[in-house]
Structure 1
């Protein structure tokens, strides 16, 4: 009869590993496992050789059952589903980590979990990140918006959630009233809006505002020069914009210094003026343009008048050119464009 027995290998003395070396070894193994992405093959253990029965000792019924079992095994699929492979890989990693932890504990190295990841809730045995009052797996501490890892760069916090700088600025930073982009550094507040300092300029000429500040029209800022030129009323005298003190007269707006007689350019000292064709005139030049100056004294005629010799006269100033007596009832004789009474005309010219 043939017989087989298992042979026990000779024990080999294991080298003593220091705690620091064991910790580094554990970290390296964890890094390798993380890099594999759950593609670790299931460890195989060689079962101890078993004593086989000889073919002579087997009964015919046992041989038939073994043959039928082999046929059933041949019919089974050779490749298990992917989900079963992943679960087996995960179980294998867990078994491997469990065995590593037990070995490290035997060597005097503490392998207690450093905490539970705030994202996945699993224990952290390798590298970790501490942020926002919690601990994380490095690959699980990511931006809330774009899911980019934040372990190697800075982050911003909003409502207890981490964000990368780009997404934080796009989501929460104030916007410029001109370019609508996020404002990350210097900010200027004006007209109930926020602006980049370099984007707050005159809407007409594009120049930045100086010490004079700006003026607003229809929600847009303007420098004082362009504002007055575009929107301020124009002086009816000089045509320039009226900025401060002004006068409204003769259907127009005037600078106080520009409101003068259109002919003699003298100001109206008594505040009285006469208008002709939209232009202010003093009394003298108004009556001069109207032809209502007295032909004798040259003063304006505001009341009754006598029209004679293509001119107009105050009644008391229409007199004989020789005797200077008033020509009553308008009876006169003309000689060389001058009025004479009948008596003086007879004496002088007849």
Structure 2
């Protein structure tokens, strides 16, 4: 009988060299072909799949259900995302409230939170200098790279 290459991460039974099996490199685990299942719906994963938070294999349908929604376009954000105090965004969707310039394209990758809305430096200065009620503006500089 062939030597086992290791236990199956799905069923815990040994996997032998002569058996069809999958090695999921990003998880460092081996699976029998029929044991690699979506963590959420338990459907067998026979084609491409995604890893949620680098640990849970998910089918495309479950990945979309579990992924946060972009605050700008409302589509799922499952791969590269910007996380801010305003929520999750696709990098191209996180833009200045006034001029719509994507902060990801800014060399400094800095945005300014003025009264709970993101602005680029130029537009933040205009917004802060605009006449307002006596309470004034709330103003905070933040770096986008902290949100990746």
TM-score bucket of the superposed structures, by smaller chain: 0.3 to 0.5
Q: Which has the larger radius of gyration?
A: 1
Structure ranking higher in helix proportion: 1
